[in-house]
Every structure is written in structure tokens, then in C-alpha cells.
Amino acid sequence: MSDLIERGATAPLAVSADWSELRDWIALLKPRVMTLVVFTGAVGLAVAPGHIHPLLGAVAILCIALGAGAAGCINMWYDRDIDAVMRRTIRRPIPAGRIAPEAALAFGVFLSGFSVVLMGLVTNWVAGAWLAGSILYYVFIYTMWLKRRTPQNIVIGGAAGAFPPIIGWVAVTGGVDVLPLILFAIVFFWTPPHFWSLSLWAHDDYQRAGVPMLPVVSGARETRRQIMLYTVLLAPLGLLPTLLGLAGWVYGAFALSLGAGFLFHAWRVLREPQDAAGVSLAGDTAARAAFRFSLLHLAGLFTALTLDHWLRAAGMIH
Amino acid sequence: MPAENAPPTMTKEEEAAFLRRRRGRNIALIVVLIGLVVLFYMITMAKLTSSGG
């Protein structure tokens, strides 16, 4: 090979050559989604009763991240046809031609197996089974079956993103309890208003790709109503840990104010000046604000729960 | 005169970029492999410690 360069000649490599870079392989794992998964998984692990060696806890979180990344990678392999027509995704490694589809699939399948086996060996096999279940759910139920068939795809996909707190908890305790199930429900009901707020001003891509996102299928007016509905369900769910005595008043105060804040933003989205079809006449400012607040809402809620847990464990509050 | 069915070729610059990328992937792979060896060693030590071994 170096001979060819030294000769200054051209090399017969262009078609089959692997042009990928490290960052392309990292991009396959959807690192931004991974951030949320790592965060909620770590909170599930932190608030679980019992003790886990810090290194083993860190490896458990790594496994959750790798499992989610692997599922995202297989998702990119499967969705490469629609990724190639959406502005947001056209530069991803597969549609851009930097990674071959079958290489991406192999990478995703290998990482799935690796993360599940490592989780099982390092913590316990119940956690490994939950991690495997979350990957299978995301790949088969969400990606392959329902994403392209129903406008409720975000609701169904939300469940996949809601597994990590349960997995983190099970990694410590070996079993499921009420609190991780409530955390699952919080992420599950948080996801639709979060993504639908975004989709209100960014649904052109989905329309082009034929993905039945709610604003594309049912219109903006219905999407605004659904955002309100899910936020109304989410607010009391956030208070449930305190009401059931599973968290203290510090968390309760945060949950109350964050829930009220999200309700206020959902109300603004619902009442924003709009035309007959529900399309914003104000540049979707309310939806953009609701999307931003939703990020703060989830981060605040889970951080408050961890803080509350530590303060109670230290005997500083009851 | 190149034949019509000759394989596609790279310019000198493309070839250099290709080799640079391949070197980057290889370095990343060796870093991951060494990282895994260290990680598995630390996991073993942590398991032994936490089980009282």
C-alpha cells in the first residue's frame, strides 16, 4: 500500500474501502439518547436500597449505556432507508455511506450480547434479563413493528427509554419494586409531551419519510391536546413517590413545582395563537419553550429524588 | 491507456486520508482492547473484595 503512495500512483481501493472513522461508530450508538439513559439508570441505581461496589455500579451503568447504544445502532441499520430522506439524519454514517449496513448490524448485535452478558456476570442475571428485554423491545416492538405503523409510536418508544431506572435498581437489589416502576411510568408519560413539543415545529422530515408522527397524521391541534393530556397524567405521577412514603418532602417540593411548571407550558402550547389546523401563528414559541422545560423537568425530578434519598440516608431529613 | 473495466482508483490525497482513518480505527481498537483487559481485572478484584475473598 505504501508503495502505491510512494509511486504517486492511484490505488484500486475506492469502492470497497472502509472510510469510517471512530466518531462514525460512536454516532451509531446515538450518544445523545445515551445521556438520558445513563442519567436515569444511574438514578435507579443510586436510590435502590442495598449496596453495590462503586466499580460494579459504574460497570452496570456502562452496560445500560452500551445496551441502549446497541439498540440505537440496530435501529439505524433498520431505518437506513428513511434516514436517507430526512434532513436531520441524512448525514448519519450508514446513509452517508461511511459504514456498511451489515457492519452496523453486526456491531449492534455484538454490543447487545456483550452488554447483557457483562451485566449478568457483574451484577445479576435478573438485571441482564431486563437489559435484554429493553433491547429486544426497542428493536422488535418499536423499530420494526410499530414505529412506521402508528402515530402513537412515540408513546411506544417511550417505554424503551423508560427501562433504565428499573435496570439500575435491579442491578443493586436483584428484583423490582414500586419505586422503579413509578420511575418507569414517569419517563413513559414524560416522553410523548417532550417529543411532540419538538415535532410541532420539526415534523417536515417525518412527513417526507412517511413516518406517522402525530402532527403529520392527526394535525397540530390534536397534538397540542395530546401534549396537555399526557402532562396532566404526568404531574400527579411525579408526586407519587412522596405520597406513598417512598421519597421525602424535598423531592415532593421539586415534583410539585416542576409538575406545575410543565402543566403551565403544556397549557401555553394548547392556547398558543394558531390557525384552524392548529399551526402556530407565533413561531411555535410555546412548543419550543415546552420542549426546553421538559428537559429541565426530567433532570430536576430525578436529581431531586437522588438528593432526597441521600439526605434521608444521612438522617438530615425524614 | 486504462481499460474500461479497470477498478476505481484513489488519488494520492485520498489514499493518504484513507490510511489515516484506518490508523485511527486501529488505535481505537487497541485502546478498547487494553481498556477491557484492565476493566475485567478491576471487576475481578472488586468481586473478590465485595465477596470477602
**Nearest Cα residue to A45 out of A68, A64, A67:** A64
Task: Confirm whether the ipTM is greater than 0.85.
Answer: no
In chain A, what percentage of residues exceed pLDDT 70? 94
Name the closest residue on chain B to residue A7, using Cα atoms. Answer: B12
Which of A2, A21, A61, A62 best tests the B interface by mutation, with the highest count of B CBs <10 A? A21
Q: Inform me whether the C-beta atom of residue A11 falls under 8 Å from chain B C-beta atoms.
A: yes
pLDDT band at A241; cut points 50, 70, 90: very high
Q: Is the pLDDT of residue A206 over 70?
A: yes
**pLDDT at residue number A74:** 97
Range in A275-279, A300-304, A314-318 the model is least confident about: A314-318
Contact assessment for residue A121 and residue A56, using Cβ atoms and an 8 Å cutoff:
no
| Summary mean pLDDT of chain A | 91
**CB neighbours of B6 closer than 8 A, spacing ≥ 6?**
A12
Residue A13 and residue B15: Cβ atoms within 8 Å?
yes
Residue B7 and residue A122: Cβ atoms within 8 Å?
no
Q: What mean pLDDT do residues B44-51 have? A: 88
For chain B, domain boundaries: 29-53
Which architecture, in CATH terms, is A19-176?
Orthogonal Bundle (1.10)
**pLDDT at residue number A3:** 41
> pLDDT higher for B8 or A21?
A21
Q: What mean pLDDT do residues A113-122 have? A: 98
| A269: enclosing H helix or E strand | helix A249-271
B10, B16, B28 member nearest A14 (Cβ): B10
Contact assessment for residue B18 and residue B10, using Cβ atoms and an 8 Å cutoff:
yes
CB pairs under 8 A between A and B: 64
User: Which residues of B fall below an 8 Å CB-CB distance to A?
Assistant: 6-12, 14-16, 18-19, 21-22, 24-25, 28, 39, 42-43, 46-47, 49-50
For chain A, domain boundaries: 19-176, 181-318
Range in A6-15, A212-221, A295-304, A306-315 the model is least confident about: A6-15
